[in-house]
Amino acid sequence: MFKRFSIYIDIVTEPKHYAAILKIIESFTNICEPITNISQTFEKPNFIYNLLIIDHDKINFDAGNLTTISEAYSTAIILNVPDTEQSYERLLDANIRLMLRRGFYERELEAILKEFMQMEILKFENTLLDSLFNSAQNSIVITDKKGNIQFANPYFEKLTEYKNEELIAQSPRVLKAGQHSEQFYQELWETIASGKEWEGIFINRSKNDHIFYEEATITPIKNSHGAIERYLKIGKNITREKMLLAELSKEVKVAKNVLKALIPEKSNDGFIDFDYHILDYNEIGGDFITYKEIGDRVIMALIDVMGHGVSAALIALTVARMVDDHATYLSLEETVSMINHTLLNINQDNEDNAKFVTGIFIEVDKKCGLIKVINAGHPDAIIVFNETPPHKIGTIPSNNLLLGVFDQSQPHAEVFNTSEVKRLILYTDGIYENRGYMLDAALDVLTDDYNKLLACTAESLESLLGPSQDTKDDSTVVIVTLM
């Protein structure tokens, strides 16, 4: 469950006690690394040990051993303590609390050692969790079952611009920006109160009146009886991405018309059937498709530009042209890496209007019988394997890296044999967002029926998710079928 850690234990006692002590210590080696030192005489260690187990008669009180023990050991267990008031008082004055009288039973030693080891494990867990909560670059919030905040990590404080003491015992309602309906909150509470996990996006307002977007997961925390005691929310700040998507412009419509004129025609060469369907909804950045035959290789890509205006159209054209040009003499991985490098340079010169791209890039090598797929920050591609049982459907998930944001290493490509793949299905996020789905829920529906996925066309795929509810984005579907 967590990283192994070391516990340093000094044992200064009679050999007859070794077996009982080591038996208990070794029972914890699956979760920690006890390092033991066994000796017949007491000597001060050169660094602070976690535990000293020592016989009372091996302590030299005249030499100040009690002071040394207090300074050099986090905990001490004294064995065979004489049953006199003076003996106990002397140890208690030295802040030593763990003692066993003369003639103690082995089970008493086992019990006290087990308790010590379990306490050390709890200390380590708490230290680990504190470090995780305080350094996490996601917001982490714990509330009681009524929704009042009990814990908020530093990242959440920075995001909301509230100090921790201002958040504790407050309801997250303090962050409401008036962007969600009462039904939104009602459905959220119905979900988590029933013991289920909720996923969604919050549009909130900070203390200083800044709007921010959080992609969040809220999970009920239950006690040993199965009753909900608290809720845990983990959120990711997606304000920048949402603001880029939300900026609308009439110029993009013109850019889309330019892009549409340059979209390749559908094709079927007897080996690959290339089918697609593009549906324009609004002014958010355009989708674009490329398809090029280079000898025995076919290079194709589905590109989605985040941004607006003529510049977004130019970015899409730049990416498409680079796919066509570089893939002629570079590998697919090198081509995508070059595209990212070019976008980084463009964005560095135009930081206030940066353009980011997601995309799925595919190479089919007919001669070698191989398919390469790179998913650069895009929704999961669906892969339908050949009809040989068990009729497998898989996905190729995003690498979570938008192109044009970070200087990243050469991307990894998933590789398949053409003989094992029947279809690759690509799409932009509009096909599920316009129908009120989150990506995971949409994938559950789309990958539920092998035969439907095998039979659908690019135009009919969206019907598997039902009718559009709230048109927010373009939607594009590309289906690559190997004949």
227 plus 294 within the same structural domain = no
Rounded-to-integer distance, Cα 286 and Cα 128, Å: 45
200 and 59 in a common domain: no
Distance CA 90, CA 74 (A): 18
Q: Same domain for 124 and 159?
A: no
For residue 141, the domain's CATH number is 3.30.450.20
CATH of the domain at 465: 3.60.40.10
Determine contact, residues 458/479, Cβ cutoff 8 Å: yes
d(CA 308, CA 286): 8
Indicate whether 300 belongs to any domain: yes
Note down pLDDT in tens along the chain; length 483 residues. 445 678 889 999 988 888 888 888 888 887 788 888 898 889 889 899 889 999 999 999 888 899 999 899 999 999 999 999 999 999 998 888 899 999 898 889 889 998 888 888 888 877 777 777 777 788 888 899 888 888 888 888 888 888 888 888 777 888 888 888 889 999 999 999 999 999 998 989 889 988 888 999 999 998 888 899 999 999 988 887 776 655 544 555 565 666 667 788 898 988 999 999 887 644 544 678 899 999 999 999 998 887 655 666 677 778 888 888 888 889 999 999 999 998 888 888 777 777 888 899 999 999 999 999 999 989 999 999 987 767 789 999 888 778 888 887 788 899 999 999 999 999 988 888 888 889 899 899 988 888 888 899 999 988 888 887 766 667 889 999 998
The answer to whether 35 and 45 have CB atoms below 8 angstroms apart is: no
Domain count, the chain: 3
Is the bond leading into 390 cis (omega within 30 degrees of zero)?
Answer: yes
Clarify whether residues 112 and 154 are in a common domain: no
- How many Å apart are CA 252 and CA 211, to the nearest integer? 25
Inside any domain, residue 422? yes
In a domain, 242, yes or no: no
Domain ranges, residue 72: 5-131
Supply 213's token pair.
């977007």
- Residues found in the chain: 483
In a domain, 243, yes or no: no
Burial class (CB in 10 A: 0-12, 13-18, 19+), 73: buried
Q: What is the CATH number of the domain that holds 120?
A: 3.40.50.2300
d(CA 96, CA 161): 46
Among 263, 320, 324, 333, smallest CA distance to 298 is for 324
Long-range contacts for 14-23 (Cβ within 8 Å, ≥24 apart)? 14/55, 17/53, 17/79, 17/109, 20/106, 20/109, 20/110, 21/53, 21/109, 21/113, 23/110
- Answer yes or no: are the C-beta atoms of 11 and 38 closer than 8 Å: yes
Do both 288 and 391 map to the same domain?
Answer: yes
Same domain for 321 and 203, yes or no, is no
Q: Residues 304, 409: one domain? A: yes
Structural domain ending residue among the three candidates 131, 146, 176: 131
Amino acid found at 127:
T
CB 72 within 8 A of CB 48: yes
303 and 275, same domain (yes or no): yes
Instruction: Answer yes or no: do 206 and 338 share one domain.
Output: no
Residues 176 and 279 in one domain: no
Kindly give, in sequence order, each residue whose CB lies less than 8 Å from that of residue 380, ignoring residues fewer than 6 positions away. 395, 396, 397, 398, 439, 443
Residues 180 and 161 in one domain: yes
Which residues lie across from 74 on neighbouring strands?
A: none
Considering 181, 206, 237, which residue would you say is the last residue of a domain? 237
95: in domain: yes
Task: Return the pLDDT at 303.
Answer: 87
**pLDDT given for residue 258 in this prediction:** 66
3-state DSSP assignment of residue 175: helix
- pLDDT the model gives residue 164: 81
pLDDT confidence of residue 252:
54
Q: What is the CA radius of gyration of the chain?
A: 32
Last residue of a domain, one of 204, 237, 270: 237
With vertex at residue 317, the alpha carbon angle to CA 312 and CA 322, rounded to the nearest 5 degrees, is 125
**Does the predicted model carry a pTM greater than 0.75?**
no
255 and 380 in a single domain? The answer is yes
